[in-house]
Amino acid sequence: MEIRVRYAPSPTGLQHIGGVRTALFNYLFARSLGGKMILRLEDTDRTRCDERYVENLYSTFSWLGIHWDEGPDTGGDSGPYVQSERFELYRKYALELVDKKRAYFCFCPQERLERLRAEREAAHSAETGYDRKCRDIDGKEAAARAAGGEAHTIRLKIPLGESTRFHDVLLGDIEWKNDDVNPDPVLLKSDGFPTYHLANVVDDHLMRISHVMRAQEWLSSAPLHAIMYAAFGWEAPLFCHLPMVMGDDGKKLSKRHGAAGIDEFRGEGYLPQALINYVALLGASYVEGKDLYTLEELAANFSLEKLNKAPAVFDYKKLQWYNEQYIRMQSDGELAALCLPGAVQAGLFGAAGQAPSGAEEAAFTAAMPLIRERISFPAQAAEKLRYLFAEPALPAAAEFIPKKSDLKTALKLLRIARELVPALAAARTGEEAETFIREEAARRGVKPGDLMTPLRAAVTGSRVSPPLAGSIRILGAEKTLGRIDRAAARLSSGEP
C-alpha cells in the first residue's frame, strides 16, 4: 500500500501543541515507511479562516523543520490543496450521492430548524439535530425544486436501524448504531459551500490518503465518515485517532495551563529541537531508555504499535528540561547566535539595542562555555554575563569574606589572587585556568574556595557566578587587575 497521510488544519487559529503533535506524528509515520505527507488547508468555514493563520502555519513548520511532500506551497499531483479552491468538486460529489439516493435535497429554511431546536428545548426533549422532514420527498420532485432555484442544502441519508463498524488502528474495532449518528447532517450548505465532513472525505479519497491520523476529538466524526465512504462505494482509509494532549488537570491543553501556542514557546526561547523531541513523546514511545532524539531518529523509530491509547499529559517542566539539553548541545557559535539578540536587547553592549563590537562579540562567544549548563533559555544569557561587559557594582564587604574568616584574611587572599591573574588570563582554556588556580591554592596552603571568594566578588560583583577562572580568561588581565584593585581599595578603606 502506498502510504499517504495528511495534516489538514483549518486556518482558524494559531498553531498550537495539539496541531503540531498531529502534524509531527503524520510526518514521522510517513518518513518511517517512505510514504508521503500532505498538507491540506481545510478553509471551508470562510468566516473563521484568516490569512494570518495560514502564514503562522507556514512559519511554524518551517521553524520546526517539518516539511510536507505535497501542499499548497510545494504543489503535487493531487492539488489544489486548499479546499476553497475545490468547491466545484464537492458539489459534484454531493450530487453524486443524491443520484445514488444516499443523500437528498433539504428545503427546510434556517428559521424552521431554529424553531425546531427551540421547541425541543422548551419540551426538554432528548432529540437533537434534524428531524429528517425532507428525507422522503420524492426524488424527481426534489430535483425539480432544486433545479427551479429553490434554496436547498444536501443532506446525507444515514441508513437507519443499522450499525456502522470501522477499525481504528489504535482503538480497535468500533461500532456505532446509525441511529446515534448525527441525523442526516448537511453535506452541502445552501450557499454551495461544503461542510467539513463532505470536503474532508472527498479530499481524503481523491488525495489517496491511506491513513487518517488525527486527534481523538474527531473520533465522533469517524462513523459518519465511514457511512460516507460506504455511500460513495469508496474504500475508507485506515483511521488512527491519537490520544488527546491534556493539561495536568486532565482537561484538554489550552491557554489556561500556560503557553499552548507555538509562537509563545518560540518567544520564550524554546528551541525547535526541544519542542519536536518533547511533542513527539506525547502519546508515543520510541527506544526504551532513550530521551533525546533528532527528527531523523524519531522517524526511524516511529511505529503505530508504540502509540499510547491513554491521553498524554503535557509537562512544562519536562519540556524545559529538553530545552536545557538542547542548549547544552549547541556549539559556542550556535549558542552565541541564539543568545545574542536577547543580549543586544538587554543592553549588554551599551544602550538597549546596541550591537556588539567585533571584540565584544568574540568575548560573548568565548563566554558560552561559562553559561551553557546554567541557562534554560537563551534570554538568560545576558544577565548571567553582564559582569563581563560592564564593571559590576561592588558588593558589600561581607561578600568578600570566605566562610568562618575575616576581612583581613579576605584582603590577604585577594593579594594572592592578584598575583595569579596574568597566568589565569593567559590560560588557553577555562579548564586550564581552573586547574591553575587550584594548584596555586594548594601550593600556598589555602583552600581554593577561600581563595576564590574575594576574587569572585571583586571580578563579578557577586558571591555566585559562572566559572571564575574562565571569566578571567575572557575579561583579560588588565580589566581583572583593575577590578581587584578597586575592591581592595574599598575594603581597606573600612567601608562596610
Q: How far is CA 360 from CA 112, 365, 401, 425, 474, in A?
A: 73, 9, 31, 16, 10
Cβ of residue 9: shortest distance to ligand GLU, in angstroms? 5
Closer residue to ligand GLU in complex, CB, 152/197 = 197
Residue from 16, 214, 456, 483 in contact with ligand GLU (CB under 6 A): 214
Closer residue to ligand GLU in complex, CB, 4/214 = 214
Distance separating alpha carbons of residues 111 and 108, to the nearest angstrom: 8
Closer residue to ligand GLU in complex, CB, 171/300 = 171
The one segment of 6-14, 156-164, 345-353, 439-447 that binds ligand GLU by CB under 6 A:
6-14
Residue from 4, 5, 8, 66 in contact with ligand GLU (CB under 6 A): 8
Closer residue to ligand GLU in complex, CB, 25/286 = 25
Phi, psi of 290 (to 5 degrees): -105, 130
Residue by residue, DSSP assigns 53-87 as HHHHHHHHHHHHT---SBBTTTB-TT---BGGG-H
The one segment of 2-10, 234-242, 337-345, 433-441 that binds ligand GLU by CB under 6 A:
2-10
Cβ of residue 214: shortest distance to ligand GLU, in angstroms? 3
- The total of other beta-carbon atoms located within 10 Å of residue 126's CB is 6
Cβ of residue 41: shortest distance to ligand GLU, in angstroms? 9
The one segment of 4-12, 343-351, 424-432, 459-467 that binds ligand GLU by CB under 6 A:
4-12
b/e map 331-364, b = 16+ CB within 10 Å: eeeebbebbbebbbebebbeeeeeebeeebbebb
Site for ligand GLU in 122-161 (CB under 6 A): none
- Which DSSP letter does residue 20 get? H
Residue by residue, DSSP assigns 95-134 as HHHHHTTSEEEE---HHHHHHHHHHHHHTT-S--S---GG
Q: 457 near 487, Cβ under 8 Å?
A: yes
Number of C-alpha atoms within 13 angstroms, CB side, residue 316? 14
Active-site hit among 92, 177, 255, 309: 255
The one segment of 5-13, 111-119, 369-377, 413-421 that binds ligand GLU by CB under 6 A:
5-13
Site for ligand GLU in 429-488 (CB under 6 A): none
Number of residues that bind ligand GLU (CB under 6 A): 7
Site for ligand GLU in 40-69 (CB under 6 A): 42
Whether 403 is catalytic: no
The one segment of 7-15, 137-145, 168-176, 401-409 that binds ligand GLU by CB under 6 A:
7-15
- Give residue for cell 551553557: 372
Closer residue to ligand GLU in complex, CB, 9/378 = 9
The reply on whether position 9 binds ligand GLU by CB under 6 A is yes
- Give residue for cell 447532517: 185
Q: Supply angle C-alpha 208, 46, 61, rounded to 5.
A: 55
Residue from 26, 153, 164, 200 in contact with ligand GLU (CB under 6 A): 200
Site for ligand GLU in 25-44 (CB under 6 A): 42
Distance separating alpha carbons of residues 159 and 170, to the nearest angstrom: 27
Short-list 62, 65, 8, 80, CA closest to 37: 8
Instruction: Give SS3 for 356.
Output: coil
Closer residue to ligand GLU in complex, CB, 80/342 = 80
- Give residue for cell 594548584: 439
Active site residues: 255
Contacting positions for ligand GLU (CB under 6 A): 8-10, 42, 200, 214, 218
